[in-house]
Structure 1
Amino acid sequence: MWAMSESVPVRCPACRREHLYSAPSYPCVCGAPVAPSLDRHGTATAVTHPVWEEDWITLRCTTCGRRAQWPRPELGCPCGTLLRVPLAGPPRAPGPRGRRPRFQPVTIRTARDAVTAAALYLRWLGFKDIRRADQRPPSGIGLAARGLLAQVDPTVRPASSRDVECLWLTAMTESATCVYFSLAGYATDARVRADSLGVPLFVLDLTGTPQPVNGLADEMDAKGT
């Protein structure tokens, strides 16, 4: 049975009735509970036209670091209004972490250079002991670190949604976070699928600098490990 988080007051904007709401926690693949943080002082909004993409949020497990999508907290008021419960923003760091040095890329001329560029970038993000992955991916080359599985695709074919799904499934079996690097970019359905599965996507430009493609990659680039 799912555990419940701390109760917060939620007022219906239609009838002004106040409720106490506790968001359920969901089991991560590692077994740890994952629950959204609620904004105690935020204002609930009425859902008038449900949109499937807006019914899900991406949460990160604080135990293993894995990201996954879970239902957005909502509450049905007796007056018939469906309420979207406000979420708290991400917690701020307790103090300054110091500035990272600039990433030093390597020019990409060969497939091996692409793998080297991705490995250097992961090390720059803070991942340790970068190595070849034990399992070879269907396309490209796999890299691994503690709690991380990466795929580097140096081909001239844009990565497909199936490529992203295969990486995600392999990472899930290993309880690891995953990230995809592609030299030729991504098909539109691959980007959509990556966002739904919580997979950061990067494109390797010819200077050897990984460029974030989606919001998850932007966050990884900004924060590192």
Structure 2
Amino acid sequence: MTIRTARDAVTAAALYLKWLGFRDIMQSPERPASGIDLRAPGLVAQVDPTTCPATLRDVECLWLNGLSASAVSVFFSLAGYADDARAGADALGVPLFVMDLTGTPQPVNRPADELVSTGAGA
């Protein structure tokens, strides 16, 4: 799915998560203050469609949302991640993916590689 808008990025992430085995994925109709764009049983996901790398604060806020929902937290970004965000995500076990404009997510850390290999059943 080609990404032209922020909504396209969220839809592409939802399709990828469905491919990984997550079910009943719900998209927020508008960008919520929490930053959580996608929810499913056992899952919260954020999609950052901006041109700035995601920050450590972005990753930590997502992780806290997942913690409070007893869910895995997954982050998708078009612009990548700041170095401290990647290190923080590794320490917290948050899977990070980058997406290109064709809508293809690529894992960028060990937790993301593990999610790809195990799928939603992990």
Same fold (TM over 0.5): yes
Partners in 2 of 1:216 and 1:183 — Cα distance? 18
Give the strand-richer structure, 1 or 2.
1
Aligned residues: 119
Alignment of 1:167-178 (within 5 A): 167-178=62-73
Q: CA deviation at 1:194?
A: 0.2
Matched, 1:200 2:95: yes
Counterparts in 2 of 1:194 and 1:117: CA distance versus 1, 3 Å: same
Matched, 1:111 2:9: no
Corresponding residue of 1:186 = 81
Output the amino acid matched with 1:223: T
Equivalent residue, structure 1, for 2:22: 127
* Same amino acid, percent of matched pairs: 66
Q: Measure how far apart 1:223 and its partner are.
A: 1.9
1:55 is matched with which residue?
none
Cα drift, residue 164 of structure 1? 0.2
Report matched runs for 1:4-15 at 5 Å. none
Greater helix content? 2
Return the offset for 1:133. Answer: 5.2
CA–CA distance in 2 between the matches of 1:137 and 1:209?
26
Q: Distance in 2 between matches of 1:162 and 1:219?
A: 23
| Unmatched 5+ stretches in structure 2 | none
State the 1:200 CA deviation.
0.3
Aligned to 1:146: 41
User: Which structure 1 residue ranges, 4+ long, deviate > 2 Å from structure 2?
Assistant: 132-139
The answer for unaligned runs of 5 or more in structure 1 is 1-105
CA distance in 1, matches of 2:28, 2:111: 22
Between the two structures, name the one with larger relative contact order (CA 8 Å, sep ≥ 6). 2
**1:164 paired to 2:59:** yes
Q: Distance in 1 between matches of 2:28 and 2:84?
A: 26
Task: Tell me the TM-score normalized by structure 1.
Answer: 0.50
**In terms of Rg, which structure is larger?**
1
Answering whether residue 119 of structure 2 is matched by residue 220 of structure 1, we say no
**1:172-218 CA deviation, whole Å, 9 max, x = no partner?**
11111110000110000000000010100000111111000001101
Cα separation, partners in 2 of 1:224 and 1:137, compared to 1, 3 Å: farther
